[in-house]
Structure 1
Amino acid sequence: MKNKLYTAIGLMSGTSMDGVDVSLIRSDGFDQFTNILDEYFEYNENLQQELIELRNLIININDLKRYSSRLNELERKITVFHSKIVSELSLKYQDEIDFVGFHGQTIFHNPKQKISKQLGDGALMSQLVKKKVIFNFRQEDIANKGQGAPLTPIFHNLLSKRINEKHQINFPICFLNIGGISNITKIIKKDEKLEENLEAFDSGPGNCMIDEWVRKNSKKNFDENGSIAKSGKINQLILNQVIDNFKIDSFEKSLDIKDFDILFARGLSLEDGCATITNFTAYLIAKGIEHANGSNIKPIKYLVCGGGRKNTFLIQSIKDYLLHKKNISLNSIDDYNLNGDFIESQAFGYLAIRSSLNLPISYPKTTGCELPTVGGKLVKNF
């Protein structure tokens, strides 16, 4: 007997703060999954600028109080923006939508202080769209001594089974997500107990330093396809210095974009700075991959998703750092009939369904929580 299927909208806005990825999915919260549609909605320039400016002002917990009125106003704007998207999708899709998984816009993340602040008012959204909304996905994990991130591994686990069956890829299967921060999920076997079978961690910066450099030194918001970095020259002296001086001491801690800065590249041209920063980013991601690989000598595929997979200079630089690892290959997840732009938005639709069924969304080996944790807060405000 099959489990009941639910329909959910997943909303994800990442650290690039450029817009919202939206997915409509159907799932039982376990192994059944159908992707119905994916769309992207761009923030207007004023909203994006307001988000970036306010995020830059929030350095510590006291800043959340200091700028509380601005945060509240911005949260309302973000919620209204997301709610209009939900209403628009609801008109396109005539069947009942059971849940909305509302990630919100991360403005501050510090698990040490037990805070991960996402702007997004679930009660207001529920009132506006007349649907059950699940939001605040990270706080329960943090309360359970977890890092609050990454949360997508349980969805990666589902996708790994589909990819294994359709494309005959052997386990272990790894996912490398390159968003603002990069993270890695490792699924060891096909049907093992989840607590033992899933491993995940934030592996370093993704696009965050590259995006910041491009925004500060040009009128662009990111390095499309890595074209700026390709046209520059890596400053080997600066690169060697930053590699020597910066180490990720532990992969047990989740990361925030404020953990990284681009000061080491000051004085370089737009192109040379972009090339150097991109190569440094690749170095840290490669170190994360080596950590995930451990002593494994079997061939293992890393399926790359997120916006960073389109940066060909970054991807090639990662591969160059891994040339000595003959058993590791990097492949775009798009090669397996999945759209790498929308894995996280699909995931938050899936997490919303799991949360509503009181099923765990994080595990000790994915976020460091003490016990498998049911995250997310459900609100019905209509």
Structure 2
Amino acid sequence: MKKKLYTAIGLMSGTSMDGVDVSLIKSDGFNQLINVLDEYFEYNKILHKELIELRNLILTIDDLKLHANRIKELEREITLFHSKIVSEISLKYKDEIDLIGFHGQTIFHNPDQKISKQLGDGKLMSQLVNKRVFYDFRQEDIANKGEGAPLAPIFHNLLSNNINEKYSINFPVCFLNIGGISNITKIIKKDEKLEKNLEAFDSGPGNCMIDEWVRKNSKNNFDKNGLIAKSGKIDQLILNQVIDNFELNSFDKSLDIKDFNISFARGLSLEDGCATITNFTAYLIAKGIEYANGNNADPIKFLVCGGGRKNDYLINSIKSYLSHKQNISLNSIDNYSLNGDYIESQAFGYLAIRSFLNLPISYPKTTGCVTPTVGGKLAQNI
């Protein structure tokens, strides 16, 4: 008997803080998925600037208290922005929307201190849109001794099965998401018990250092297609030094953009600094890929999603660092009838459905939680 399909909107605003990715999906919370629509809504320049400034002020847990009033103001503004999107999407879609997956805007993430703070008032949104809203997805996992991230692996598992059926890709298959932080999901077999089958970890920086460098040294917010880095020259001495001095000893901790800084490139031109930082980012991502591959010598595909997949210079640099690994290939997820910009927003729609069904969204080998964990708080004003 077929399971009931639920309709959910997933809302995701990443570390670039430039806007909101929105997806409308239908799913049973298990292996069925219909993607109805994907859209992007850009923050205005003032809100974008205020969010970045606030995040830069929140360096410790005490800063959350110190800036509580400003946090509350921006949280309301963020919630109103997201709620307007939900109302707009609801008008376009004739059928009933069951659930909203509201990730919110991360401003502080520190699992060791048992906190991950996303701006987003689920209760207010539920009142405004008159829907069931799931939000604060990371806190239950952290309470269960997990890292609170990454959370998309359970959705990657669903996608891997669909891609396998349609394109006959062999397992294991990996997903490389290059957002502000990069993370990797490895699905070992098809239709295996999830607790044994899913492995995931944050693998290093993604776009965060590149974006910060470009913002601080130009009028742009990011390096479109990697053209700035491509026009520069790597400072090999600085690159070698930062590689030698930076230690990512294990892949069992979730990462925050504040774990990385660009001070090592100080004094370089916009182009040379961008080339050097991009190569350092590529080096760390390549190390994560090698770790995920392990001792495997069979061909394995890494499906690349997130904004970083569009940075040709970054992708080519990663491939260069992996040139000695003939079995590893990097492929854009767009080659498999999926839009790599919206994987995470679709994922949070799916996580809302799983949360509603009281199903786990994280596992010991994806976040380090002790037992499979149901996440997402429910706000219900219906």
Tell me if TM exceeds 0.5.
yes
Question: Distance between the aligned counterparts of 1:117 and 1:239, measured in 2?
Answer: 33
Amino acid at match of 2:154: I
Question: Distance between the aligned counterparts of 2:364 and 2:187, measured in 1?
Answer: 14
Contact 1:286 1:322 in 2 (8 A): yes
Instruction: Please say if 1:151 is aligned against 2:136.
Output: no
Q: CA deviation at 1:201?
A: 0.1
Aligned equivalent of 2:31 = 31
Aligned equivalent of 2:358 = 358
Instruction: Please say if 1:237 is aligned against 2:246.
Output: no
Aligned equivalent of 1:289 = 289
Q: CA deviation at 1:119?
A: 0.3
Aligned equivalent of 1:225 = 225
Q: CA deviation at 1:286?
A: 0.1
Contact 1:7 1:96 in 2 (8 A): yes
Q: Write the mapping of 1:118-267 to structure 2, written as runs, cut at 5 A.
A: 118-267=118-267
**2:72 counterpart SS class:** helix
Deviations 1:334-376 (A, max 9, x none): 0000000000000000000000000000000000000000000
**2:170 counterpart SS class:** coil
Aligned equivalent of 1:305 = 305
Q: CA deviation at 1:250?
A: 1.3
Question: Distance between the aligned counterparts of 1:94 and 1:317, measured in 2?
Answer: 45
What runs of 5+ residues in structure 1 fail to find an aligned partner?
A: none
Question: Distance between the aligned counterparts of 2:346 and 2:168, measured in 1?
Answer: 23
Aligned equivalent of 1:112 = 112
**1:141 counterpart SS class:** helix
Amino acid at match of 1:352: A
Aligned equivalent of 2:377 = 377
Q: CA deviation at 1:94?
A: 1.0
**2:133 counterpart SS class:** strand
Amino acid at match of 1:155: F
Question: Distance between the aligned counterparts of 2:47 and 2:194, measured in 1?
Answer: 40
> How well do the aligned residues superpose, as a CA RMSD in angstroms?
0.4
Amino acid at match of 1:46: I
Amino acid at match of 2:188: I
Amino acid at match of 1:308: G
Q: CA deviation at 1:111?
A: 0.4
Question: Distance between the aligned counterparts of 1:179 and 1:209, measured in 2?
Answer: 11
Q: CA deviation at 1:13?
A: 0.2
**1:49 counterpart SS class:** helix
Amino acid at match of 1:344: E
Question: Distance between the aligned counterparts of 1:94 and 1:218, measured in 2?
Answer: 44
Amino acid at match of 1:36: V
Aligned equivalent of 2:19 = 19
Q: CA deviation at 1:249?
A: 1.2
Aligned equivalent of 1:268 = 268
**2:26 counterpart SS class:** strand
User: Runs of at least 4 residues of structure 1 off by over 6 A?
Assistant: none
Aligned equivalent of 1:88 = 88
TM-score for the superposition, normalised by structure 2: 1.00
Question: Distance between the aligned counterparts of 1:148 and 1:239, measured in 2?
Answer: 31
Q: CA deviation at 1:166?
A: 0.4
Q: CA deviation at 1:276?
A: 0.3
Aligned equivalent of 2:342 = 342
Contact 1:100 1:131 in 2 (8 A): yes
Contact 1:8 1:99 in 2 (8 A): yes
Question: Distance between the aligned counterparts of 2:175 and 2:160, measured in 1?
Answer: 9
Contact 1:124 1:381 in 2 (8 A): no
Question: Distance between the aligned counterparts of 1:51 and 1:4, measured in 2?
Answer: 39
Deviations 1:294-340 (A, max 9, x none): 00111000000000000000000000000000000000000000000
Amino acid at match of 2:253: K
Question: Distance between the aligned counterparts of 2:65 and 2:54, measured in 1?
Answer: 13
Question: Distance between the aligned counterparts of 1:117 and 1:249, measured in 2?
Answer: 26
Question: Distance between the aligned counterparts of 2:246 and 2:332, measured in 1?
Answer: 28
Question: Distance between the aligned counterparts of 1:114 and 1:252, measured in 2?
Answer: 16
Deviations 1:135-184 (A, max 9, x none): 00000000000000000000000000000010010000000000000000
Deviations 1:242-274 (A, max 9, x none): 000001111000000000000000000000000
Question: Distance between the aligned counterparts of 1:163 and 1:248, measured in 2?
Answer: 32
**1:48 counterpart SS class:** helix
Question: Distance between the aligned counterparts of 2:191 and 2:150, measured in 1?
Answer: 21
**2:317 counterpart SS class:** helix
**2:70 counterpart SS class:** helix
Deviations 1:1-57 (A, max 9, x none): 000000000000000000000000000000000000000000000000000000000
**2:381 counterpart SS class:** coil
**1:360 counterpart SS class:** coil
**2:254 counterpart SS class:** coil
**1:186 counterpart SS class:** strand
TM-score for the superposition, normalised by structure 1: 1.00
Question: Distance between the aligned counterparts of 1:40 and 1:132, measured in 2?
Answer: 22
Q: CA deviation at 1:381?
A: 2.0
Aligned equivalent of 1:324 = 324
State how many pairs are aligned: 382
What runs of 5+ residues in structure 2 fail to find an aligned partner?
A: none
Amino acid at match of 1:292: A
